[in-house]
Amino acid sequence: MTTTIHGLVKPLLFASSLLLSTIAGGVAAQPAILEGERFHPQESSEGMVATSHFLASQVAHDVLAAGGNAVDAAVTAGFALAVTQPRSGNIGGGGFMLISDENSGEVIAIDYRETAPAAAFETMFQDEDGEAVSELSRYTHNASGVPGTVAGLALALEEYGTLTLAEALEPAIRLAENGFAVPPRFVAGIRDTRERLEKWESTRKVFFKEDGSLYEVGEIFRQPDLAATLKRIAEHGAREFYEGETAELIAAEMERHDGLMTLEDLAGYQPVIREPSHGTYRGYDIYAMSPPSSGGAHIVQMLNILEEYDIGAMGFNSAQTLHLMAEAMKRAYADRSEYLGDTDFVDVPLSGITSKEYAAELRAGIDPEMATPSDTIAPGNPLPYESSETTHFSIADDNGLAVSNTYTINFSYGSGIVVDGAGFLLNNEMDDFSAKPGVPNAYGLIGGEANKVEPGKRMLSSMTPTIVKRDGKNFLITGSPGGSRIITTTLQVLMNVIDHGMNIQSAVSVPRVHHQWLPDELRIEEGISPDTIALLEAMGHTVSQQEAMGAAQSIMIGDGMYYGGADPRRSTSSAMGL
């Protein structure tokens, strides 16, 4: 199969876990990942894209094929996902992007996480008795932080891309205007969330037919209001979202429903360029998102703890390996509950958390034969101090530029509230703050004072876009959706490649585990041996088999080749090489 862009013809190498690839205005057959191909990566010598939706992979591929760089492709994919995957792709949310440039040696992090409105206050999600009320932080207009996606993607393009914003938006505008045939996952998502989405007239107008019925697989889904919003941004620039007609539509939506977000909040939003968290593991350089993401710090922390064990010799998903991983996970998540927050507002002991010395202290408390009960683990003392339904995609070009991006509106379909007239969903990221210190959020994560609600503050996140380098060269690009499981999913992709020598498709396909300190249970996916489970239980672990975790769209680079891994846990995932 070939694709032609601006006169260029390049082979289209494609791996997808969906049988149908949808082109704007129609449906075309594409190869699916067969069972025997589940562990075979996509290969290319000229670059690779891996996203959670085949249409986003297609437009990103087209950008690279036409001579654009990895950032151009990433921004184009990000806007396309806002159209084709509205349950998690977004312009009404926020996220994080890591960019690695081999030529300059620079790795930078773009923080476009949402911020709390100026009128937000610490107890806004508590009742008169001081108890946290989850409904308030999840399904109301005040559940939304000030969105950062448009500003963040525009900043990445302006600083590191070659396309104009209008050029990067063109495929998304086309998909929103002409429509696309909805796949099974889209239909199932609307059906499963129907009660929440039907509550709001503005949402009903977008996601349901005029008679209130559901779209069926293969039917064309068009979003004219969203297309108009994207056209305004293309014509007037990113600030249109924050100061133009779109901002006015958001503010009006808030005012109609007693929301706190104002035009001033929108006009004041700015993304931030930060230094990523950094550590080393068995000779590899690990770069991941820094706070307000907790992911990078704790990825490095867990790898530091595990580095002194011969994980490779213990074997993939053996009882001994899983036991040590669970013990490292518990200790990292205990520290997360106490120390992590927005470093613009609180002191985070980042250098302590990521230090080899602190890892050695924590490792000394691990019994290699028995599980440590979580109620005996308290946050450590990582001195010194220094002044969440999600979508991930990874992209690499053949000029040394790599992008790892994770963004979200939090829950599937966020708050469930569409901005009337603008066509996009509002996030419910305010739930990622600690509504009350010590009370778990929707993902069971405990938060403390460091992550309390404050005006203008960015809420703590688990999103962990990650880039691994070897000898100064980009080696592995990964990240995942999955709420509290994002961090451990990303950890296991890294370990599967570095410790167990897996190819990237195998590394993202094999069964995963997760422990987050509280509740004190080792969550596993289907596929872990019953004998292994019995050994873990004999060690004192409470093992709970649950649904699949994460969707780690990933790329590995080596010997002049690019290898793409499309996570089969998300049916629309795809990897494409040039």
Listing DSSP states for 96-165 in one string gives EEEEEETTTTEEEEEEE--B--TT--TTTTB-TTS-B-HHHHHSSGGGPPBP-HHHHHHHHHHHH-SS-H
Give the residue among 81, 86, 93 at the shortest CA–CA distance from 57: 81
Give the residue among 363, 331, 369, 377 at the shortest CA–CA distance from 538: 369
Give the residue among 413, 357, 402, 401 at the shortest CA–CA distance from 381: 357
Give the containing element (helix H, strand E) for 468.
strand 466-470
Radius of gyration from C-alpha coordinates of the chain: 22
Distance CA 8, CA 436 (A): 56
Q: Which amino acid is at 62?
A: D
Asked if the bond preceding 384 is cis, omega within 30° of 0, the reply is yes
Q: Which amino acid is at 22?
A: T
CB-CB neighbours of 136 under 10 Å:
17
Of 84, 140, 149, 390, catalytic = 390
Q: Are 234 and 171 in contact (CB under 8 A)?
A: no
Distance CA 283, CA 98 (A): 20
Tell me the backbone φ, ψ of residue 81, rounded to 5 degrees: -65, -30
Tell me, yes or no, if 390 is annotated catalytic: yes
Total number of residues shown for the chain: 578
Q: Would you name the residues annotated as active-site residues?
A: 390
